[in-house]
């Protein structure tokens, strides 16, 4: 018989107030609840993007635009960019506002989807590195959902070694002319704009000759080719740039100094992945254990407690990283730590889901079977996307523990002189 999450009793929302919240926070939480109750959709059993993707492109586009629509709703009612400066359309709230909004939103199905992911990656980067003109031009339409973005970083020969990228940008008068190829670009076929890394000076070591550019995805010379996965969906694309012209002032940071903003994006990405979104996976695991009569098993409860603890810690770590970046401060710890922890948590949740549901769930076609199958299949996805776990551990070893760098001939060699296969 197909299982339904509806069989599990509803949980009460997080209580407002209490010893740990100030009167201002209690009032803010009540306002969030009132807004969500009026405008947000009830949470459904599964999130299609997380579960199986959309083999039909029209359906995928509709889902993307649904996320954009929610972002617009947030902006229209003053709930977008809660902690961003008001001059760019933000709310100017204290840092705790985002935590409270995330806690309350977890009970609902509405969310900005990938539109929100790119805002989380690029928004704080522009606040930290962009000129006042670039911030004024791009932040308000970004936060309102008018501009949806995609990340144009990875290349066929520059994934884990991102700084080795080969896409060229040559300044021609008041425009950059860009030629190259990008790959693994999420939702590029639906995005209005892209944030792009390009090689602007090949005569210096790889990290010192990169420029961070903002590009209109409708520009002549851009071709987006969706990459169809085994499940028929095409979340990723490859993007070809042939003589693409970008205004010279659409630069984030300094010319040839794009590696700094790029690292900020990667830090925000790690924080976003670590924080997660929507209802915690542990909620579903607890439901699954209850449905199979194993919630009272002390071994199951111990493993659930481990997942819950890790989720809460990751959320707090992600919030601290993004708060620091948004306010121009160095994160209190290396963002790679959040990413590594999130990858480990995903393996724990996938393994536990498979054990709780049993083999039958992996071949079922009901909502829970679909969810369990996705958890099992995607156990290792986070260990690759956004920087592999191996690379992140190397970063932690070198930057946080002060261990010797791995030997490499390209650190102080001009990019053009580095041997390539």
In the chain, where are the structural domains located? 25-147, 149-257, 280-400
| CA pair distance 78, 101, nearest whole angstrom | 12
Q: Give me the mean pLDDT over the 281-298 stretch.
A: 90
Cα–Cα distances (Å) from 39 to 93, 209, 238, 283, in that order, read 21, 47, 36, 23
Does the domain at residues 149-257 carry the CATH identifier 3.40.50.800?
A: no
For residue range 156-212, list pLDDT tens digits in order.
988 888 999 999 999 999 999 999 999 999 999 999 999 999 999 999 999 999 999
pLDDT at 382: 79
pLDDT at 280: 79
Cα–Cα distances (Å) from 363 to 7, 195, 300, 368, in that order, read 21, 40, 23, 11
Cα–Cα distances (Å) from 97 to 27, 139, 154, 323, in that order, read 11, 20, 33, 11
Q: Give me the mean pLDDT over the 20-31 stretch.
A: 92
| CA pair distance 135, 123, nearest whole angstrom | 9
Look up the CATH number of domain 280-400.
Answer: 1.20.140.10
Query: Contact at 8 Å (CB) between 356 and 292?
Result: yes
Q: Facing residues of 246 across strands? A: 176
For residue range 127-151, list pLDDT tens digits in order.
999 999 999 999 999 999 999 999 9
pLDDT at 241: 98
Q: Which band of pLDDT confidence, cut at 50, 70 and 90, is reported for residue 278?
A: low
- The answer to whether domain 25-147 and domain 280-400 are alike in fold is no
Q: Is the predicted pLDDT of residue 312 greater than 60, yes or no?
A: yes
| Rounded (10°) angle between helices 113-129 and 57-76 | 50
Mean per-residue pLDDT of the chain: 86
Selection from 1-15, 178-192, 303-317, 331-345 with the highest mean pLDDT = 178-192
Supply the Cα-derived Rg of the chain in whole angstroms.
22
- At 383 the three-state DSSP class reads coil
For residue range 392-420, list pLDDT tens digits in order.
888 888 888 888 887 777 778 898 888 87
Q: Is the predicted pLDDT of residue 323 greater than 90, yes or no?
A: no
Query: Contact at 8 Å (CB) between 90 and 141?
Result: no
| CA pair distance 125, 115, nearest whole angstrom | 16
| CA pair distance 339, 275, nearest whole angstrom | 9
CATH pick for 25-147 out of 3.40.50.300, 1.10.540.10, 3.40.50.11890, 1.10.1040.10: 1.10.540.10
């Amino acid at each position: 018989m197909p299982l339904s999450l509806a069989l599990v009793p509803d949980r009460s929302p997080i209580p407002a107030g209490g010893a740990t919240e100030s009167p201002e926070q209690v009032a803010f939480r009540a306002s969030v609840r009132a807004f969500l109750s009026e405008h947000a959709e009830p949470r459904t059993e599964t999130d299609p993007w997380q579960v199986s993707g959309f083999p039909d492109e029209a359906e995928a586009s509709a889902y993307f635009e649904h996320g954009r629509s929610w972002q617009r709703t947030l902006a229209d009612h003053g709930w977008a960019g809660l902690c961003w400066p008001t001059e760019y359309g933000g709310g100017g709230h204290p840092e705790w506002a985002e935590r409270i909004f995330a806690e309350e939103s977890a009970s609902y199905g509405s969310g900005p989807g990938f539109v929100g992911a790119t805002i989380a990656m690029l928004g704080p980067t522009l606040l930290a590195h962009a000129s006042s003109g670039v911030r004024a031009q791009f932040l308000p339409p970004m936060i309102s959902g008018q501009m949806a973005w995609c990340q144009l970083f990875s290349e066929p020969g520059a994934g884990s070694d991102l700084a080795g990228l080969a896409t060229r940008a040559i300044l021609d008068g008041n425009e950059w002319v860009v030629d190259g190829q990008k790959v693994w670009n999420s939702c590029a076929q639906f995005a209005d704009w892209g944030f792009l890394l390009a090689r602007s000076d090949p005569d210096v070591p790889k990290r010192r000759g990169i420029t961070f550019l903002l590009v209109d995805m409708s520009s002549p010379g851009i071709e987006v080719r969706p990459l169809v996965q085994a499940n028929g969906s095409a979340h990723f694309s490859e993007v070809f740039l042939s003589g693409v012209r970008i205004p010279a002032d659409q630069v984030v940071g300094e010319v040839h100094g794009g590696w700094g903003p790029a690292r900020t994006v990667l830090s925000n990405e790690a924080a976003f992945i670590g924080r997660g979104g929507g209802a915690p996976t542990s909620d579903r695991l607890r439901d699954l254990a209850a449905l199979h009569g194993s919630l009272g098993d002390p071994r199951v409860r111990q493993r659930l407690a481990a997942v819950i603890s890790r989720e809460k810690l990751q959320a707090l770590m992600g919030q601290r990283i993004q708060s620091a970046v948004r306010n121009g401060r160095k994160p209190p710890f290396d963002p790679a730590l959040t990413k590594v922890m999130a990858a480990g948590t995903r393996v724990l949740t996938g393994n536990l889901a498979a054990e709780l549901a049993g083999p039958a769930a992996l071949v079922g076609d009901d909502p829970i079977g679909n969810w369990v199958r996705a958890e099992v299949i995607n156990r290792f996805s986070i260990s690759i996307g956004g920087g592999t776990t191996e690379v992140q551990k190397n970063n932690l070893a070198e930057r946080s523990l002060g261990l010797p760098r791995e030997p490499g001939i390209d650190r102080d060699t001009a990019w053009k002189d580095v041997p390539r296969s």
